[in-house]
Structures are given as C-alpha cells and as structure tokens.
Amino acid sequence: MAKNKTITIAVTGLNAIDSPGPGIPVIRGLREAKSFDVRIIGLSYESLEPGIYMHDLVDKSYQIPYPSAGKDTIFERIKYIHGQENIDVIIPNFDAELLPFMKLATELNELGINTFLPTEKQYTEREKFNLPAFGKKYGFHVPKSEAVHDTGKLQKIVSEYGFPVVIKGKFYDAGITHNMEQAISQYHKISAKWGLPIIVQEFINGTEFNVTGLGDGKGNTISAVPMRKQYITDKGKAWGGISISDQK
C-alpha cells in the first residue's frame, strides 16, 4: 500500500481559553484525513496559547506578529518560518487575520505556500455591517442592523429598533442590552477593544444555531455542519456545543 503524501500545514488560532480559537478543532480534522498525512506548524500570538503545548497535535510552533503590525511584517515572519519548515499550506482561523493574508496570497504563492481564501470583495460582502445587503442579494432573512460610529447615531437606531437590542463589535464581542444606559456602555466597551464601527442589531428571540459550511465557489454546498451552543463564556463565545443532524 502506497504511503500517503505528507503535507506541512501552518495553522493559527491555538488559544483555547475564554474566547477559544478554531485552530485546535481544525488540526484535529486535518489529522483525521485518510488521503494524506500532515505535519502541523502552529502559529501563535502569545507564548501561553494552549495549542502550543498539545504535542500530540502540533509538531512545532512559532510566534507571529498580530495583524495590526501590518502585512509586510507578517510576511517577513512567515517567510522566515517557511525557510525553516517548508510550509505547503497556511490556514488563518481568525476574522481579523483574513484581510492581511488575502493581501499576501500572491507573495505566499510565489514562496510555494498555498492558501484557500476569499477575494477581498467576498470578504467585505460578508462583514457584519454589510449582512442586510448580503441577505437581500442572496435571498435569505437577516436581522435588521446598522453600523454606527458615534453614540448619537447609536441612540437614534436603538430607539427605532426598541429593546432588547444587540450591540456587536465588528470582529468579536456582542451583548444584549435592555436600556439605553446598557447600550451606550456596551458601545464604549466594545469599541475600546475592537474599534469602530459598532453594529446595532435587532434582537431575535429563539434557539440559536450556527452552521459552518464549505462551498465550491459556484453556489453549491460541498458540506455543512449545524451546531447548537450549549455553553457560552462571559465573552459571548461558544465553549461547548453539539452538532445537529437535520436533513431539512
């Protein structure tokens, strides 16, 4: 029996604390692949990210600069790591990483590092503050939402939507608020951490489901896995959940 090809894959998102990254589940999935073997290079932002020390999953780890350092700084670090490890594929797992890695896709490809990323247009289209237009374009329902850059507009939109209302960061964090004081407090809290704009979204009552899927780029779904959050951290992140089997 022929031996599977070994692919060296660099993966980010190794933290598994109160705002867990997707890197470890991604690595587990890669290691379960039957058609190829993997050598995993972990890319971390901090030296205490738990995934670094999961030696049964991660073969070697390197620290990389935060996305805010700029794409040129990131590229130089990735170039160095590639010189040591000969990376075949890189998988960034955080929303905030996607834009710099998309802008670096050509340079990475010239080094021999493959990516599987959306275009900048596709990325911008699915930004939280663009979701209403996205839903209208592709024919599915999306809660009303609007991006705000100051508390004046925040109060105007919140008054139109009524309480409760959800105040969300452009990348992460969200909170359900029940009065104007809470809404303004949440605005300042999230904007101080993640910047502007802040998204004001109407609250939809009911059971929350999440679906992660893979498309073929032509509008067809290759695979999709729905899940329901069972435990949420104080940061609003799912810590535990169950997958749902529903043919509908």
Per-residue pLDDT tens digits for 3-54: 789 999 999 999 876 667 889 999 999 999 999 999 999 999 999 999 999 9
Enclosing domain of residue 108:
6-123
Residues 144-173: pLDDT tens digits? 999 999 999 999 999 999 999 999 998 778
Q: What is the CATH number of the domain that holds 149?
A: 3.30.1490.20
Our count of domains for the chain comes to: 3
- Same domain, yes or no, for 102 and 35? yes
**Residues 8 and 45 sit within 8 Å (Cβ to Cβ):** no
Q: Is 110 found in the same domain as 93? A: yes
Q: Do 10 and 116 lie in a common domain?
A: yes
One domain, residues 81 and 16: yes
Domain end position, chosen among 78, 99, 123 = 123
162 lies in the same domain as 98: no
Residue 199 scores a pLDDT above 90: yes
112 and 21 within one domain: yes
pLDDT digits (tens, 9 = 90+) for 44-71: 999 999 999 999 999 999 999 999 899 9
Q: Determine the angle formed by the axes of helices 71-85 and 95-103, rounding to 10 degrees.
A: 80
Residue 217 has pLDDT above 90, yes or no: no
| Within-domain flag for 248 | no
Q: How confident is the model at residue 236, as a pLDDT?
A: 63
Specify if 1 maps to a domain.
Answer: no
* pTM check: above 0.85: no
Same-domain pairing of 36 and 113: yes
Of 36, 38, 11, 35, the C-alpha closest to 25 is 11
Same domain flag for 221 and 170: no
**Same domain as 210, residue 194:** no
If asked whether residues 28 and 116 sit together in one domain, one would say yes
Q: Is residue 220 part of a domain?
A: yes
Residue 68 belongs to some domain of the structure? yes
- Within a domain: 59: yes
Give 189 or 172, the one with higher predicted confidence.
189
Residue 167 CA to residue 183 CA, distance in Å, equals 7
Question: Is the domain of 147 the same as that of 179?
Answer: yes
In a domain, 146, yes or no: yes
Instruction: Give the separation between CA 75 and CA 70, rounded to whole angstroms.
Output: 9
Cβ neighbours for 243, distance < 8 A, ≥ 6 positions apart = 225, 226, 227
